[in-house]
Chain A
């Protein structure tokens, strides 16, 4: 008998659903073993049919999301938090810095495109106070962060959920898959996100470019740094960062870069502080980051906005 798989799309971008298609020919093997009973981007299924495996993309942003998630939990045997939004809240977790009322006021009041200076449209589902990762609402059996996760990991996760085989996922960071050579350099200047003027074989940190590879879980096979783009931390914090309360993204990046380039650590911290909300963004609304200096983040964001 084919295993029944149901998917749901909450507050996310559908990128994770599209990533399933990235399985390419592996998908064909999958289709042989699996019957998709509910896929919001492909079929018009309003209800929540019973399924063995549920795949949930996106975080809980509104009351509708919460309702849909609870329905998924009821109808599915095993539930997978698929992608960073589902696991940690994702980029929309930045809303945590401002609160619901401030966001609604900004979006619906005094906007250039908002001719009537109107209110929130009636009938829209009520927003939660902030974005919440789905495990704050229901019990989750497996997590697969990544934005989206690399097909390699998706295949492993799905095979595990279907009970075919269980391969333990690596707890290593993006650096472990990165082909660049991390080495000591002299005379590097601090910069952010530049793609050009880089030595393609040398680590970004060695060249003074802020890269989050060393503090990010590898669920991407280091695609960005290997192609010349510094890591943005999209798969969420590394295991070390989650486990150790005294480690955080900013200080660990600064520490390593200071040792590699000789630039004073405090200078690097100050330099990356203004952009801190984008660094923390992928896991900002998740409890794994509560112990981190996310409270100061509001002040950093305000300073940077000046």
Chain B
């Protein structure tokens, strides 16, 4: 059962918790001018009262936080498989954690990408680009680089450790990016999927959109070659 505790000293007696509670757990004691927990068994832990409380006076103990708001049997089965491969749920080492996380996240991403492809068809790359651009807009201002070279260096620095990312830019038009490590590749190989699928398309365009918005330069994805070292070329079109 969830244990609800109200700090009467902190409480300001606004009675908003009584009002918002969907299961009417609280009653307002007019004499004390404080709410009282009347039906604790009715509480299902939505935490509406805790959210509205202006004084943070309500504390719940024994609430189980749910991480997923949906249940996907396929994904659960696959993550279980990855968990078993990683040696159970006890996370024996870093590699184990990585494989588990990558498996779980990757399966979700693969399904998202295929849903996008089915519903949007040819607009799939645009979704990736938009996501990248949105990320760049949400960055704090002091991370905004001055020119394209600086933007590129910044992105490579961020991503290099995870992806073994390398970029060569000749200062003119052609930009070549290679990724030595790729969790999508590992995942596709394990699941027997073809490389360069929908998720890859999303990621290529995501990075291009991110770079473009950061630097204010127009970019066009030219050529991609997934494989042991994933390489792709981007054409840099200067801003008019």
Contact = CB atoms under 8 A, between A and B. Distances in A.
Interface of A: 96-97, 99-100, 128-130, 132, 171-173, 175-178, 180-184, 203, 205, 213-214, 238-240, 244, 247, 255-256, 259-260, 285, 287, 290, 295
Interface of B: 7, 9-16, 19-20, 33, 50-52, 54-57, 137-138, 140-144
B58 to A, nearest CB: 11
Given A247-B51, A260-B14, A295 B138 contact: yes
Given A99-B141, A173-B55, A290-B140, A180 B19 contact: no
A259 B54 CA distance: 12
A183 B11 CA distance: 12
Contact of A285 (B14, B140, B144): B140
B16 A259 contact: yes
B140 A130 contact: yes
A225 to B, nearest CB: 11
Contacts of A214: 54-55
A188 B138 CA distance: 37
Contacts of A100: 142
A182 B141 contact: no
B51 A182 contact: no
A173 B54 contact: yes
A154 B167 CA distance: 50
B69 to A, nearest CB: 13
B144 to A, nearest CB: 7
B140 A182 contact: no
| B interface majority secondary structure | loop
Nearest to A238: B56
B52 A96 contact: no
B147 to A, nearest CB: 14
Contact of A130 (B12, B16, B33, B142): B142
B14 A129 contact: no
Nearest to A290: B140
A70 to B, nearest CB: 18
B109 to A, nearest CB: 20
Nearest to A100: B142
B56 A172 contact: yes
B142 A178 contact: no
A176 B141 contact: no
A183 to B, nearest CB: 7
A177 B56 CA distance: 11
A99 B13 contact: no
A259 B11 CA distance: 17
Contacts of B138: 290, 295
A172 B57 contact: yes
Contacts of A171: 56
A176 B55 CA distance: 5
Given A176-B56, A255-B52, A260-B16, 10 more contacts: A97-B141, A129-B143, A130-B142, A132-B142, A172-B57, A240-B56, A244-B51, A259-B16, A295-B137, A295-B138
B51 A176 contact: no
B60 to A, nearest CB: 13
A5 to B, nearest CB: 31
Given A96-B142, A130-B142, A240-B51, A182 B12 contact: yes
Contacts of A183: 13-15
Contacts of B11: 176
Nearest to A170: B10
A182 B56 contact: no
22 contacts: A100-B142, A130-B141, A130-B142, A132-B142, A172-B10, A172-B57, A173-B54, A173-B56, A175-B10, A175-B54, A175-B55, A181-B12, A182-B12, A182-B14, A182-B54, A183-B14, A184-B15, A213-B54, A238-B56, A256-B14, A256-B52, A259-B19
Nearest to B137: A295
A187 to B, nearest CB: 18
B26 to A, nearest CB: 15
A6 to B, nearest CB: 28
